[in-house]
Structure 1
Amino acid sequence: MSVTEFARTGRVFQVWSYDPAHRQLIIRSDPSRLDGTTTRVEVYFGHVECMLLRPTYRSLRVRRASPAEFRRVSDVAGIPAEDGESTYLIDPEGTSFVVSGRPSWREAERRRSDPTLFDFSREWPPDFEARWGNVDG
């Protein structure tokens, strides 16, 4: 499922992993009794060129930066104009961003100890119920 924006409010998301050798970033929210959730949500960014992140977010809103938003983050981070179409804002306020390939998301009922939903050595779709998609912008 392709969407122009991926948003989840009322959940705690964390920068879960970054692999500099493969330039892959995963931001993740695990199930929590505090927020009444039973699913894990993961957002994957591949081919990461640049990022400005906080370690934790109370909500996530992943979308392609508008031209005005791109100018603002480009001024701060010195992102070249050709990366405008690859710049994704990730928080509701638009203060954090990732310059990358098209983000993907996956959501499923998983325990904290289960492997990442983006374990590329495993078949997808999985044999358990899951939802997934891409952010096209």
Structure 2
Amino acid sequence: MSSGDTTEKVEKEHRPSPIDVHVGSRVRLRRTLLGMSQERLGEALGLTFQQVQKYERGVNRIGASRLFDLSRVLDVPISFFFDDLPGSVGGSQGFASRVAGFAEAQEGFGDDTLHRRETLELVRAYYRISDPSVRKRVFDLIKAMTPVE
């Protein structure tokens, strides 16, 4: 094995798993939708905000008990963290193939609309509308303004 091969192997070993990145991004999404800072989430979990950052980036893997704590603090079912995971449900494709396909899909995923600050602020503002009928009219207005596909 050449030194180039060793370097490549080490880099691959330290790259976050696509699943860990996805779960971390779902933690960030929910935390942001709640208007919660990384610091506040960390306090609720007994962690530093730097540890929360590492979880959200997928650098540190989230264990089962921590995932349980996150679901409680963020008020979502554990399944929320795996929602929208491509190929994660059903199908005859093997797990390794699904993960490899997900990793390839993630590479072109830099401009994800759901993770934009503008989107998150809009959703938070929408849910701050306390009157359900007004919220429904705002929703209908936005739908009416969008182009038909």
Which TM bucket (shorter chain)?
Answer: under 0.3
Higher helix residue share: 2
Relative contact order (C-alpha < 8 Å, sep 6+): which is higher? 1
Higher strand residue share: 1
TM-score by length of 2: 0.23
